[in-house]
Each structure stands twice: as C-alpha cells, then as structure tokens.
C-alpha cells in the first residue's frame, strides 16, 4: 500500500549548498534522501515545502515522500535520526493523505532573519553582523509598507522571476532580542531571495541611505536593480510552514 510520509525537519545550513540536490555538492535534500532510502530500502524523491539557499537554516522545514514500507512512524523517526548527520534533525514523522504535497499544500510560510548589532565570534554563522547604527523606527515604518498583496519583483533574483511575482504578506515586523534585531515575515509564497533582499534594503533605510518613501518607490518599481543588496544567507531561518 502506498503511504505518504510527512517530515518536519530542522537543519544548520552552514555546511550545505542549500536544500536542493545538486551533483557533487552536499545538500540537505541529498542527505535526507540517502537517509530515508536507507531506512525504507528503496530510493525516494523528497518534496520540500521550499528551497533554501546556501547557508540558510531551518527550524521547521517540511517535506514528504511516498513509500510502501510498513515501518511505523516512531520507529522511522528513531531510525532516521540514527543515520542522518548531526546538522540535520527530523523532529516529526507523520503519515498523511496520499494527495498531500509539502510544497503545493502549504497555505503560508514564516521566515525569520537575525541581525547581530556588532561583532560575535560564537554566533557568526547564524546571524548577520551589522556594525552600523540603525534607525529602528524608520525600518519599522518601511516594513509596514510590505504588508498586504504586492508585486515583489524588486526583491527577487531577476533570472528566477516568474510571470506572477505577487505575494500576500500576512504579517511582518522587527523585534529586539538582546543584542540582536530580528525580522519575522509570514506570506502565502516567497520569491527566490525575497526575504534577504527585503532585509538588505531595510538595513539601508536604517542606515539613512534610503528614506521610507524611497523604499515605497522601490516596491512599486518592480525592478531588482532599484533595491539594496541581498543580506547574507547565514541570518535566515525557515521558521514554520502552515497547512
């Protein structure tokens, strides 16, 4: 009998070339497919809720695969974590309906971006170290402009742009956390590098290089060349996928 298995996954993206399988490169999907294949005794094709780039982390990535293995969920969870490397952890295994697809069944995704205000030796692979004074009020004001339904062409990798670059942002905002400034955003979909491009441009607003009205014009321009730099992957986390 065909079974559809959903995985909830956490990983440290520091030593991976992103999520998606790439020949000759270490990827999260590649490690998981090898691990799952070992457990169920056949090759599997894992469907992820979304692709994360080089260095990007996840606390709540989801993926699914089909199998005829009779292994129960608890045994599968223990066995998987026994064969996976330490920088990948399966937090949950759940049998779901056959038609479930981790990518296309998702209703929204939540990402978090961590900025460390200064230098850090311990956290350097998990945050973006920003050494400049930031105007947090202006950053918050600009961030409010992205809530709702917009074309985010100005904040995606140009070569990956689709016919429709519209996304509906349900919530977004900044919160201080000790020596960090943390950006959280939830949307129905995300474009390639969208969160990192938004953060990079919002930091320019915080530094005074761009005004809040400039940010609004960038959003309306639908042109990636108008926006700021792409923030480093190390500060980005896929926090949760909602179904």
Q: Which of 2, 12, 15, 53 is catalytic?
A: 53
For residue 21, what is the domain's CATH number? Answer: 3.30.70.580
Which of 70, 96, 122 delimits the end of a domain? 96
Over residues 75-96, mean pLDDT = 98
Mean residue pLDDT of the chain comes to 96
Predicted pLDDT of residue 158: 64
Domain presence at residue 101 = no
12 included as an active-site residue:
no
pTM given for the model: 0.95
Confidence of residue 63 (pLDDT cuts 50, 70, 90): very high
Domain presence at residue 199 = yes
Q: Is the pLDDT of residue 162 over 90?
A: no
Domain presence at residue 161 = yes
Q: Which of 144, 155, 128 is nearest to 232 (CA)?
A: 128
Confidence of residue 187 (pLDDT cuts 50, 70, 90): very high
Residues 144 and 237 occupy one common structural domain = yes
Domain presence at residue 102 = no
Which of 75, 96, 117 delimits the end of a domain? 96
CA distance 225 to 104: 30
CA distance 115 to 130: 7
Predicted pLDDT of residue 226: 95
> How does pLDDT run across 113-136, given as a tens digit for each residue?
999 999 999 999 999 999 999 999
Q: Within the chain, what is the greatest distance between any pair of CA atoms?
A: 60
Residues 188 and 83 occupy one common structural domain = no
- Which residue range(s) make up the domain with 190? 108-242
Residues 70 and 147 occupy one common structural domain = no
Give the residue with greater pLDDT, 225 vs 159.
Answer: 225
Predicted pLDDT of residue 1: 82
Which of 96, 123, 154 delimits the end of a domain? 96
Query: How many structural domains are present in the chain?
Result: 2
């Amino acid at each position: 009998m065909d079974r559809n298995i959903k995985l909830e996954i956490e990983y440290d993206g520091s030593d991976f070339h992103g999520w998606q399988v790439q020949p000759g490169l270490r990827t999260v999907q590649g490690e998981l497919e090898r691990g799952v294949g070992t457990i169920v005794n056949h090759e599997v094709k894992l469907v992820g809720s979304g692709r994360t780039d080089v260095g990007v982390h996840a606390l709540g990535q989801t993926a699914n695969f089909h199998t005829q293995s009779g292994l129960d969920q608890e045994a599968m969870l223990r066995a998987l974590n026994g064969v996976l490397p330490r920088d990948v952890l399966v937090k949950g295994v759940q049998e779901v309906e056959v038609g479930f697809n981790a990518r296309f069944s998702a209703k929204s995704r939540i990402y978090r971006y961590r900025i460390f205000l200064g230098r850090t030796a311990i956290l350097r692979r998990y945050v973006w170290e920003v050494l400049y004074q930031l105007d947090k009020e202006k950053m918050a004001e600009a961030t409010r402009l992205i809530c709702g339904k917009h074309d985010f062409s100005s904040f995606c990798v140009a070569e990956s742009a689709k016919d429709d670059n519209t996304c509906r942002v349900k919530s977004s905002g900044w919160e201080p956390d000790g020596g960090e400034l943390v950006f959280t955003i939830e949307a129905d979909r995300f474009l390639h590098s969208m969160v990192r491009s938004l953060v990079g441009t919002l930091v320019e607003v915080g530094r005074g290089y761009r005004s809040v009205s400039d940010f609004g014009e960038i959003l309306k321009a639908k042109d990636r060349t108008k926006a700021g730099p792409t923030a480093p992957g190390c500060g980005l986390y896929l926090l949760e996928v909602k179904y």
